[in-house]
Amino acid sequence: MEKLASLIIIIGTFLWLFSILVLEGRWQWQMFSALVLTVGIFTAHFWEELRDTDDTEE
C-alpha cells in the first residue's frame, strides 16, 4: 500500500506539472491533479497509521 500511495502521489504531481506547462495552468486540470494527490495523501496516512496498529496487535 505504501508503493501504491507513492505511485498515486507521483502521478498526481506529474499531472499538475503537465497542466501548468502544457495546459496553460487551467484550474480544472489543476484541480483534477489535486484530487489525485488527495487520494494519494489519504492513502499514505491511512497506511502509515494503521500499519502501526497492525504491528502492535501482532
**According to CB under 8 A, which one of 1, 4, 10, 18 is a site residue for other proteins?**
10
Residue showing cell 494503521: 50
Q: Which is nearer to other proteins, 22 or 53 (CB)?
A: 53
Let me know: does 44 contact 34? Beta carbons within 8 Å. Answer: no
Residue showing cell 495552468: 25
State the number of binding residues for other proteins (CB under 8 A). Answer: 30
Cell of 6: 507513492
CA 1/CA 49 separation, integer angstroms: 12
Judged by the rule CB under 8 A, the positions of this chain that interact with other proteins are 2, 5-6, 9-10, 12-13, 16, 20, 25-27, 30-31, 33-34, 37-38, 40-42, 44-46, 48-50, 52-53, 56
